[in-house]
Structures are given as C-alpha cells and as structure tokens.
Structure 1
Amino acid sequence: MIKTDIAIVGGGPAGLCAAISAASQGANVTIIEKASNLGGQLIKQTHMFFGSQKQYASTRGIDIPDILMNELKKLGSLVNVMLDSTVLGLYEDGVLTVEQNNKYIKIKPDSIIIATGASEKFLAFPNNDLPGIYGAGAVQTLMNVHGIKPGNKVVMVGAGNIGLIVSYQLLQAGIEVKAIIDAAPKIGGYYVHASKVRRMGVPILTSHTVKYAHGKEVLKKVTIVKLDNNWQEVPGSEIDIDADVMCISVGLSPLAELLWQVGCDMIYVPELGGHVPVRNQELETSVKGVYVAGDVAGVEEASSAMVEGRLAGLCAAKNLGYAKENFEELKNDCIEQLYSLRSGPVGEKIRAGLSKVIV
C-alpha cells in the first residue's frame, strides 16, 4: 500500500497544475497518468494560447508541458509521478487501485483530485465506421505527435474551436480541407480561428450535417445535407464531397467513471458536456476529500483547466493542513482568473452550466 497526501488522477494540464499548487503548499503528491508522458492534450496543440500571461498566453500548447515540468522539478521529492499507470478503481475506503506494467498497486491518499479530462463524442450516420473517419483528437495525434499525414482531402464536421483549429493545422500540413460543416445555425468557435481558415479559401457551411459516408474499404466520398430551423433535412439539398478523411469534432464528454464509482452526486448539464459532479467553491465534490479539475468537471478550454487545477491543488492541500501564508492570495487569484476567462458572451454557456452544480 502506497501512502500519499494527495493522489492526482491524470497528468494533463489540470493535473500538472494541481500537483504544482499542492506541493508548493507542502503536500506530498502522487500523479497517476495512463500515458507514457505528462501533458495530456497539450502535447499536440501547436496553436498559441489566449488568456493572460498567467495562462501562458502567446505560448504554443506543445511548449507548456516543459514549463510545467520545470516547475515540478523544483519541488523535488514532494512530487511522485507514475506513468503508464491506469487507475482501475476508486473505492469507498478511499483506496485507488492501479495497474502499472502488469503490476497491481494500491494507493491510499488522504485526498484525491480527479483530473481525467474528457473523451470525444461521435456521430451516427450510415458507414460511420469506415477507415478514414477520425475524431479530431486522433487527427491531431497523427499529425502533431507522430508526423503522419491522415489523408489528402478532408471534410471537417464541427465548427467549434477544436474543429477550426485542427482544420488550420491540416492546411499547414499541406492537406486540402474541402469544407467545414456544422449542424448549428452559427459557428461555436472563436471568429479569429474561423477567419484564418476562411482566408485560406475553406467554406464553412452552418446548418449542415453528414447524411452518408461512401466507400467499401475506405472513405471515398461524403454526402452532406442542409438542415432547416427545426433541425430537419431539407429535401434536395444534398451535396457530395470527394474526401478520403472525415474529421469529427462535435464536442467532448467528461470522463467521470471514477466519480460515479465513488458515489459523487452527479448532474447532467449539457452546457458542460454531460454528467458532471456537484462541487463547492473549492472544487470539492459531495464525497469529502475528492476534488475535480479540468474537463471532467465541465468541458472548457485548457486555460481554465490549468487554473482549476491550481485551485483544486491549493484547496486540497489546505484542507489537509498545508496552507502557507500566501494561500488566500493564491486562491483569490485563481478565482479571479476563472471569472475573467468565463466572462463575456463566450463564457455565457459555461456560466449557465456552473450555476447548476456549484453549491
């Protein structure tokens, strides 16, 4: 049985920042990450971040893990990292069971921060299992991590930030983006991202969806169709597009299995991506000592995930007796950063969702 003050499940942006924050207050921290490296989705995000300097604005996502890793190294033995480690269960006695390289390990933390992120949603349409149909995250991994070209002609489904950003990255890789489509009547991503792909000649077709994927062994063609104001297909509006890749970017779902298992109160909140836990201002769930941060708490941008991670780490450490003199200052700064990131019309959906789960 491994003992630790705080176990952090997930070594992405939220988990890394939670570890830095908690260890900086003096707590002993163990990060458990299923991949062979830390950084989560950051390792394939080549675009520059928005926000403020505190959220690494104007820094490319792929460079942020190194910055965070340098912060971790300064904390020395207070931080233990377990890579290639999959959490199998979280039980009522607070024990985590982990599989690492065919070894079965038990960890008993005093508190737990769940920062497991989210998984990609998919679409139902005929032949949606053809080779050549990917989630946007898979395309990013192929291109930006492994340097592999997914294909030559792409139809992007989804005009949120991820769909727009990945479309631009495809263009940078010399791949033709035939069209970006979205079932909604207007795009969901920032106009700055949409403007970049439009200037490069890519049409963005709102109120359109996929009707059919053509091909026997691989994707050859995509049929899209226009939707009316009631989200019904408009007869005779079908368009055929030659493509060998369809990239699906229609949102994320929080990876909340461990929260369900340990008995956290959960609420379905569409604005936050699906079922998310009820939590207080310190990101502690209804189960004492279990905290959340990042997309598992509600799907947002990586900037918000990092700030939530710092807030959860601070509060988890404080509630174990590790608060330093600067605790209140750091906590209030995190709260102010989150308020700023969620302000304005862009954050309206997130604010509406959070109002249902913060107690």
Structure 2
Amino acid sequence: MKQVEILVVGGGPAGLCAAINAAQAGAKVLVLERNEDLGGQLIKQTHMFFGSEKQHASVRGIDIASILFNKIYELGNIEIYKNATVLAIYDDGIVSAEINGRYMKIKPERIIVSTGASEKTLAFPNNDLPGIYGAGAVQTLMNVHGVKPGDNVLMVGAGNIGLIVSYQLMQAGVNVKAILDAAPEIGGYLVHASKVRRMGVPIYTGYTVKEAYGKDYLEKATIVKLNDKWEPIEGTEKDFDVDVLCISVGLSPLGELLWQAGCEMRYVGQLGGFVPVRTENLETTVEGIFVAGDVCGVEEATSAMVEGYLAGLTAADSLGYEIKDFEERKQDYLEQLQSLRSGHVGDKIRAGLDQVTIKSEAAVV
C-alpha cells in the first residue's frame, strides 16, 4: 500500500497545475497519468493562448507544457507515474491503479481528479470508415507524432477546436476543403474563423454530414443543409472528395471515477454532460475529493490551469498546511476564472456553473 498526501489523477493542464501548487505548499504529491507523456492537450497545441499574462497569453501550448514541466522538476516532492490507469476509488478512500502492467493500491489523504474529457462522435452512414477521426486524434498524429493524417480534409465543427485544428492542418500542408457546423452560427472565436477564411476555406453553417463513402477507406463525404428543426433539406447536398473527415463536435467530461466514488453528479448541457457538484474550493460532495479542468465542465485550457492551481491550493490547505496569503491567492484564482468566463462567450459556462456550485454561507449573505 502506497501512502501519499495528495493524489492527482491526470497529468494534463489542470493536473499539472494542481500538483505544482499543492507541492509548493509543502504537500507530498503523486501524479498518475495514463499516457506515456504528461501535458494532455498542451503538447498538441501549437497555437498561442488568449487570456492574461498569468495564463501565459501569447505563449504556445507546447511551450506552456515545458514551463509547467520545469516547475515540477524543480520541486522535490512530486512523484509521477506514467502509463498509469486509475481503476477505482473505493468507499474507504483506497485507490487502485494499473501502472506499467502492475497492480497498485494507494491511500491518499486527498484526491484531485483532473481526468479531462473525451471526444463526442457523430452518427451517419459509414462513420466507421478508416480516415474518420476525432479532432484530438488528428492533433496527436500531426503535433505529437509528426504524421500527416491525409491529403484532403473535411472538418465537421466550427468551434474553437475545429477552427484551430483546421489551421494547423493547413500549416502541415493538408488541403482543408471546407468546414461545416450544424449550428446556424460559428461557435468559435471569430479570430480563428477569420484566419481560415483568409486561406480560402469555406465555412458552411447549418450543415451536417449526410453520409460517408469508400470501400477500404474514406473516399467521399456528402453534407446536407438543415432547416430550423434540424431536419435535412432535400436537394441541398454537397459532395467532397476527401480522405479525412475530422469530427469536432464537442467533448464529454470523463467523470466515471467520481460516479464510483459517490460524488453527486448532475447533467448540465452547458458544461458538456454530467459534472460533479462542488464548492468554490472545487471540493466535491465527497469530503477530500477535489476536481479541476474539463471533468468539471468543458472549457478552454486556460480555465483548466487556473482551476488546477485553485484545487491544489485548497487541497493542501485542507491538510493543514500554512499557506502564505491563502485567501488572497484563492480570491485571485476565482477572479481569473470570472474574467475568463466573462462576456457573451461565457454566458453558457456561467449558467452551467450556477447549477453545480455550492454557495458558501458568506456568499449567500
């Protein structure tokens, strides 16, 4: 049985930041990451981030990952296991994991779950043909392994991920024939949409995939326009000769461990699916289990990092560590999150958070 003060499940943006703040407070931290590399989405992101200087604005995701790695290696109280899959969180607080083919039991005093989210898919005939990928898989092929996924791509989804990955595909020399989205308007930031439009890529809103074609792999895709009831309009079909169909239609929080641990979960469409009920300290309804990042609700990586810092800080504080300027630092993180979720873009996120955030007595007063 391995004893640890704080166990961080997931070594993506949120998990790394949580580990850093918890370790800086003095806690002994163990990070379990199921992949061979730390960093999660950061190591796939070659674009520059928005936000403020505190959130590494104008720094590329891959470079932010390096900054976080350096901080972790400078601290001597963070242990990291890669190729580590957490299997269960039991009622007695024991965590079981499979690490490089070996079974291990861990007894943490606090747990921070930062497992992220998984890609949603889209149903249409022949959607299992080789050449049909999620956007995250395309990013992994290109930006992690240096493999071009194909020559001609049709991007499904005009949110930030779809727009950004489209631009990255063009940077890699891939022909992006078009971007489509079932929604009547582009969901991503217009700055991203403007970049791909300047490159001559058309964006079709109010369209979805009707069918994919091919014998051994994708060879063609047909899209069709939708009416205001989201029904296909006959006669509006468009055909594209493509060998890659990239699906970017949203993410679902990976909360299976939270369900198993007995945390109260609620379905909140604005946050991507079932998410945990939690306090402003990001502690769930099960004492000692904290959350951060997309498992709380799908947002940008900047928000995930700030939530990670907040969860690491508050988890360490709950263990009794004396943290200099704790309240000021906590308030700063809360204000950063409020700023990132401000304006029209954040309306959906704020509405979703209102449904799952436990208000403190001080806030109610």
Per-residue CA deviations over 1:258-303 (Å, capped at 9, x if unaligned) read 0000111000001000000000110000000001000000000000
| Residues 205-354 of structure 1 mapped to structure 2, 5 A cutoff | 205-354=204-353
Distance (whole Å) between structure 2 residues aligned to residue 38 and residue 213 of structure 1: 35
SS at structure 1 position matched to 2:279: coil
Once the two structures are overlaid, the 10-residue window that deviates more, 14-23 or 319-328, is 319-328
Counterpart amino acid of residue 276 in structure 1: V
The match for 1:201 is 200
Distance (whole Å) between structure 1 residues aligned to residue 100 and residue 230 of structure 2: 48
Distance (whole Å) between structure 1 residues aligned to residue 176 and residue 324 of structure 2: 53
- When normalised by structure 2's length, the TM-score is 0.97
The match for 2:104 is 105
Shift of 1:37: 1.6
Structure 1 spans left out of the alignment, 5+ residues? none
Shift of 1:322: 1.0
Distance (whole Å) between structure 1 residues aligned to residue 324 and residue 245 of structure 2: 53
SS at structure 2 position matched to 1:356: coil
The match for 1:187 is 186
The match for 1:128 is 127
The match for 2:56 is 56
The match for 2:72 is 72
Distance (whole Å) between structure 2 residues aligned to residue 36 and residue 130 of structure 1: 27
SS at structure 2 position matched to 1:346: coil
SS at structure 2 position matched to 1:345: coil
**1:8 equivalenced with 2:8 (yes/no):** yes
Per-residue CA deviations over 1:139-197 (Å, capped at 9, x if unaligned) read 00111111111111100000000000000001111111111000000011000000000
Distance (whole Å) between structure 2 residues aligned to residue 32 and residue 150 of structure 1: 29
Identity of aligned residues (%): 67
Per-residue CA deviations over 1:108-144 (Å, capped at 9, x if unaligned) read 0001000000000000000000000000000001111
Distance (whole Å) between structure 1 residues aligned to residue 218 and residue 74 of structure 2: 49
SS at structure 1 position matched to 2:327: helix
Distance (whole Å) between structure 1 residues aligned to residue 354 and residue 281 of structure 2: 15
SS at structure 1 position matched to 2:98: strand
Distance (whole Å) between structure 1 residues aligned to residue 146 and residue 79 of structure 2: 31
- Count of equivalent residues: 358
Distance (whole Å) between structure 2 residues aligned to residue 72 and residue 143 of structure 1: 26
Shift of 1:42: 0.6
Distance (whole Å) between structure 1 residues aligned to residue 74 and residue 92 of structure 2: 33
The match for 2:43 is 43
Counterpart amino acid of residue 29 in structure 1: V
Once the two structures are overlaid, the 10-residue window that deviates more, 316-325 or 261-270, is 316-325
Distance (whole Å) between structure 2 residues aligned to residue 146 and residue 258 of structure 1: 29
Shift of 1:71: 1.1
Counterpart amino acid of residue 355 in structure 2: K
Once the two structures are overlaid, the 10-residue window that deviates more, 207-216 or 318-327, is 318-327
Distance (whole Å) between structure 2 residues aligned to residue 165 and residue 242 of structure 1: 22
- When normalised by structure 1's length, the TM-score is 0.99
Counterpart amino acid of residue 67 in structure 1: I
The match for 2:363 is none
Distance (whole Å) between structure 2 residues aligned to residue 133 and residue 167 of structure 1: 15
Per-residue CA deviations over 1:17-76 (Å, capped at 9, x if unaligned) read 000111111111110111112101110100000001111111100111110111112221
Shift of 1:230: 1.2
SS at structure 2 position matched to 1:235: coil
Structure 2 spans left out of the alignment, 5+ residues? 359-365
Runs of 4+ in 1 over 4 A off after TM superposition: none
Distance (whole Å) between structure 1 residues aligned to residue 147 and residue 105 of structure 2: 38
**1:88 equivalenced with 2:87 (yes/no):** yes
Counterpart amino acid of residue 159 in structure 1: A
Counterpart amino acid of residue 46 in structure 1: T
Per-residue CA deviations over 1:91-118 (Å, capped at 9, x if unaligned) read 1111110111221111100010000000
Once the two structures are overlaid, the 10-residue window that deviates more, 63-72 or 108-117, is 63-72
Shift of 1:325: 2.1
Distance (whole Å) between structure 1 residues aligned to residue 162 and residue 329 of structure 2: 34
Once the two structures are overlaid, the 10-residue window that deviates more, 122-131 or 61-70, is 61-70
SS at structure 2 position matched to 1:106: strand
**1:115 equivalenced with 2:114 (yes/no):** yes
